[in-house]
Amino acid sequence: MKDELAKRIVQGLKDAGINFVTYLPETRLSQIVPLIRDDPLIELVATASEQEAVTIAAGATLGGKQAAVYMENTGIYVSSYGLLTVGKQLGVPILLIVGYLGGVPDQRNSFLYATIGSRTIPVLQGLGIEHRVLEDGDKLEEKIRDAVRAANALRGPFALLFAGEFSL
Amino acid sequence: MIRYECLEFLAAKITDQLVVTSQSGQRIEWSHLSKHEGNLLVGMMGCAIGVGMGLALALPHRKVIVLDSDGSVLLSLFNLATLGNLRPKNLAIYVFDNGVYSGSRISYPTATAGNTDLVAMAQGAGIKNAQTLRNIEEFKHKGVEALARDELAFFVCKVEESLMHREIPRPDTDLAENKYTFVRYLERTEKKTIPFISRG
């Protein structure tokens, strides 16, 4: 991903009101981590599991933060229990910033990722979590803002799946 | 000691702390003993420490208490490593360790009934104040006194299996109702708007 896109993602998060991010690092969007870490307006929390990242973000949201979780799409599988229970059942908005490995628009797709990618959207649908796939920087900030608004309105998680130019 | 007597003692000490419970007997017993609006009765195992950690980070001036079980902690052991590194000073965790999955109704033993020591694991993960409390006097003194201290506390309270939670009424507040009561209480006491909740 070009550095410019990473900067626009982080600025888009801030413009959308995100001020708390939990994460487990991955490859595709990793440039956003140092940018968030160096930004005094966003609290960044490293976790040991995406399941944990979801529950911490949920607690922060209930405590008044506007929270996001940054993860690889493998984390959707790992955190599906938390997404369903504290996300959907308890009804807590969380923005999911997901590196979408192995999907058709993943520019670095391979046999290592394709099975994971091919089931990501069906799993999100099974969990009842709405999503949007982003493949380029067109209206990026607006799409992030829309996703946060949707999560708040739905009282639950909303996933942005980053592929295409974001996966280069 | 049994869990109910610990919770009964703790409930009398609650003022404006936020209390998060995981799903199992302590959720039922705590809801019976405490009608505090700052109770968040999380209805699932393995999530309470994470939710409590998020609350503690979002509200660093507010004491957050997590009431958890051995089965729940075993389901979310990754929390120990994160706790050991973040060390939120305003978080106190009480793990009621009866050594069984009593909610299963067959009381199958958990790993702590065998060779597993959650306090040793917590200490190894970097939690400095991790202690085992073996009787009600230790709970009353070491355990409850920690609420006044500015330090992450992780207590494994060794309790006998008790079936009290099957005899008292189960909470009739559903998850959404509890969540909104909790958040409105926070809005009132923190004098701020919780962003997601006020957009009609």
- Provide, rounded to the nearest whole percent, the portion of chain A with pLDDT above 70: 100
- Per-residue pLDDT band at B152 (split at 50, 70, 90): very high
Q: Does B73 reach chain A within 8 Å, measured CB to CB?
A: no
Minimum-distance CB partner of B186 among A43, A63, A66: A63
The pLDDT value recorded for residue A17 is 97
Question: What does DSSP assign to residue B169?
Answer: P
Taking residue B116's Cβ as centre, other Cβ atoms within 10 Å add up to 15
The pLDDT value recorded for residue B199 is 60
pLDDT digits (tens, 9 = 90+) for A20-65: 999 999 999 999 999 999 999 999 999 999 999 999 999 999 999 9
Spatial separation of the C-alpha atoms in residues A103 and A117, rounded to whole Å: 4
Q: Does A40 reach chain B within 8 Å, measured CB to CB?
A: no
Q: Per-residue pLDDT averaged across A86-99, rounded?
A: 97
Domain that holds residue B159: 3-197
Nearest to A64 by CA among B93, B39, B89, B182: B182
Q: Per-residue pLDDT averaged across B131-155, rounded?
A: 96
The pLDDT value recorded for residue B198 is 65
pLDDT digits (tens, 9 = 90+) for B71-95: 999 999 999 999 999 999 999 999 9
Q: Which residues pair with A70 in a beta bridge?
A: A23, A97
The pLDDT value recorded for residue B33 is 95
Q: With CB atoms and an 8 Å threshold, state whether A48 touches B81.
A: yes
Q: Does B125 reach chain A within 8 Å, measured CB to CB?
A: no
Q: Which domains does chain A have, with CATH numbers?
A: 3-162 (3.40.50.970)
Q: Does B52 reach chain A within 8 Å, measured CB to CB?
A: yes
- Chain A residue with the nearest C-alpha to that of B73: A52
The pLDDT value recorded for residue B165 is 79
Question: What amino acid is encoded at A112 in this protein?
Answer: L
- Per-residue pLDDT band at B30 (split at 50, 70, 90): very high
For residue B16, the distance in angstroms to the closest alpha carbon of chain A comes to 14
- Per-residue pLDDT band at B168 (split at 50, 70, 90): confident
Whether the per-residue pLDDT at B200 is higher than 80: the answer is no
pTM tops 0.90: yes
- Per-residue pLDDT band at A3 (split at 50, 70, 90): very high
Chain B residue numbers with beta carbons less than 8 Å from the beta carbon of A90 are 42-43, 175-176, 179
For residue A69, the distance in angstroms to the closest alpha carbon of chain B comes to 12
What number of residues does chain B have? Answer: 200
The pLDDT value recorded for residue B195 is 86
- Per the prediction, chain A carries an average pLDDT of 97
What number of residues does chain A have? Answer: 168
Whether the per-residue pLDDT at B135 is higher than 90: the answer is yes
Into how many domains does chain B fold? 1
Q: Does A122 reach chain B within 8 Å, measured CB to CB?
A: no
The pLDDT value recorded for residue A91 is 96
Those residues whose C-beta lies under 8 Å from the C-beta of residue B157, and which sit 6 or more positions away, are B1, B3, B6, B94, B95, B96, B97, B133, B139, B143
Q: Per-residue pLDDT averaged across B156-168, rounded?
A: 89
Q: Per-residue pLDDT averaged across A80-103, rounded?
A: 97
Q: Give the ranges where chain B is alpha helix by DSSP (H).
A: 3-11, 25-33, 48-58, 70-75, 78-86, 118-125, 136-138, 144-145, 164-167, 175-190
Asked whether B43 and B178 are in contact (CB, 8 A), the reply is no
This complex has an ipTM of: 0.96
Q: What is the CATH number of the domain that holds B175?
A: 3.40.50.970
The pLDDT value recorded for residue A127 is 98
